Structure 1
Amino acid sequence: MMGRCFELTLFVLLVDGVFGDVVTVPVMEGDSVTLNTGVTKQQHDKILWYFNNTRIALINGHPNTSCLYDGEGGRFRDRLKVDYESGSLTITDIRSEHAGRYEAELIRSESSGKRQSLNRNRKCDSTKITQKISSTHDDTIKIFSVIITASLSDQETKAEPQMEKRASNLSSGLSAGAVAGIVVAVLLVFAAAAAGVIYYGKLNAGRGKDKGDYEGLAKEEEHTQNV
């Protein structure tokens, strides 16, 4: 995994009584992502975060009255961080198992009934598995769809075997006879080139000798005439 850590922050305004559109969030594997509702949260308001309908965070505004859950199979253990004032959720060191649907539910402090029962839940049990219940009209929900993409190092690692495989396929496509034929052809080319060099060398040497003999005869004839 690459040492760098890219943090993607989404600011999405939630309006009471309105279900927001699903926001698609692509995140590179190994990075961190922050999902920020952008909601104006009051001191005693609560924000519940769910992953695929399983609760992963209860934010009451203070760590003593809040809770972060490990999730099914402990997939979120030591990976979650929250902002107790804004209610934003951060998932660190993203893996493929963290891809999915994230929902933020805002519960106003003036709400009653089942929501007020959350005030009595002072003790945090991070291993507890709580499924999402149907929301009523006075809850506000924002939905994120987190998609995990491969890191650059993983892409390079996957590309290397592909190149090796192609080279192997190329070599394996040639029979032993074909390989031997190629080797013989290469040797013949080199032998022909060497023979050509030797031939032209001897030819040039012969021309030089003939030229020397001619010049010698010419000088001898000239000397005879002078005498």
Structure 2
Amino acid sequence: MMGCSFLLTLFVLLLHGVFGDDVVTVMEGDTVTLNTDITKKEHDKMLWYFEDTRIALINGHPNTSCLYDGEDGRFRDRLKVDYETGFLTITDIRFEHAGDYEAEIIRSQSSGKSQSLNRNRKCDRTKIIQKTSNLGETIKKISVNVEAKTEEESYKTEKENRTKEESYSTGKILAGTCGVGVLLVVVAAVLGVIYYRRWRSRNAGMEKNKPDRLLEDQRKDDSDVSCENPSSV
């Protein structure tokens, strides 16, 4: 049974190899990046298809590009592209994303085709566009297989995600605690400066008035002496 499975897998790989396709196998829930193995120029446009349905239009800038949700919205919020290289990334991949992917490039020197893709700059993510013919040059075909995770792998992934969430929560708590601590230190420092300035100002006033008080005390002592010995005057 194992021998038959191995031979079947080998046959599939050879079959795809003959037709120039790449085979990528990923685990359910993982992220996969599909590259094109070419150098994309700044004004080149690229199209990505999944089972002959367009899922990405890359014009080199997000404002003039579009990522489509695909049939049944299966790619909604799962697609990312590198606008410089044209690489396509699928996050949190599921079994419904398994299938054949194809990348086309429309060179910047091509006339007509490049402009026809850029007439409407508004992106309609829900639009379903079927591939009827090649608009450019096919540069990559990739067959993506999605395998189910074992219970151990699912538990490991869940544990890693939970650890990340706990670390993030702990970081937020520590950041909040540190923020309160810093605030208290700043308040204490400000109050300390205010108290010190008032204390210094009060002492300076006392030092300034000290000669006057001494003179007044001396006059009072002289007056008391005069009152005690009137005959000596």
* Unmatched segments (≥5 aa) in structure 2: 1-18, 156-233
Number of the residue aligned with 1:48: 47
Number of the residue aligned with 1:100: 99
Number of the residue aligned with 1:36: 35
User: Distance between the aligned counterparts of 2:132 and 2:109, measured in 1?
Assistant: 19
SS at match of 1:21: coil
Q: Give the alignment's TM-score, normalised by structure 2.
A: 0.56
Deviations 1:54-74 (A, max 9, x none): 000000110000000000000
User: Distance between the aligned counterparts of 1:64 and 1:156, measured in 2?
Assistant: 38
TM-fit CA distance, 1:32: 0.6
Give the number of the structure whose residues are more often strand, by fraction: 1
Q: Give the alignment's TM-score, normalised by structure 1.
A: 0.57
Identity of aligned residues (%): 70
SS at match of 1:119: coil
Number of corresponding residues: 138
TM-fit CA distance, 1:115: 3.5
Number of the residue aligned with 1:15: none
TM-fit CA distance, 1:116: 2.1
TM-fit CA distance, 1:154: 7.5
User: Distance between the aligned counterparts of 2:123 and 2:71, measured in 1?
Assistant: 16
Does the 8 A contact of 2:105 with 2:139 survive in 1?
yes
Q: What letter is aligned with 1:31?
A: D
| CA spacing shift, 1:156–1:60, aligned 2, 3 Å | closer
What is the root-mean-square deviation of aligned Cα atoms in Å?
Answer: 2.1
TM-fit CA distance, 1:47: 0.6
Give the number of the structure whose residues are more often helix, by fraction: 2
Residue of structure 2 aligned with 1:153, choices 138, 145, 151? 151
Number of the residue aligned with 1:123: 122
SS at match of 2:127: coil
Summarize the alignment of residues 38-117 of structure 1 with structure 2, pairs less than 5 Å apart: 38-117=37-116
SS at match of 1:120: coil
| CA spacing shift, 1:156–1:83, aligned 2, 3 Å | closer
* Unmatched segments (≥5 aa) in structure 1: 1-19, 158-227
Number of the residue aligned with 1:190: none
Deviations 1:99-121 (A, max 9, x none): 00000001101112333211213
Deviations 1:147-192 (A, max 9, x none): 00011227889xxxxxxxxxxxxxxxxxxxxxxxxxxxxxxxxxxx
User: Distance between the aligned counterparts of 2:62 and 2:153, measured in 1?
Assistant: 39
Deviations 1:26-72 (A, max 9, x none): 01001010001122111110010000000000001100000000000
Summarize the alignment of residues 10-29 of structure 1 with structure 2, pairs less than 5 Å apart: 21-29=20-28
User: Distance between the aligned counterparts of 1:99 and 1:38, measured in 2?
Assistant: 21
Larger relative contact order, structure 1 or 2 (CA cutoff 8 Å, min sep 6): 1
Give 4+ residue runs of structure 1 displaced > 3 Å after superposition.
154-157
User: Distance between the aligned counterparts of 1:154 and 1:147, measured in 2?
Assistant: 20
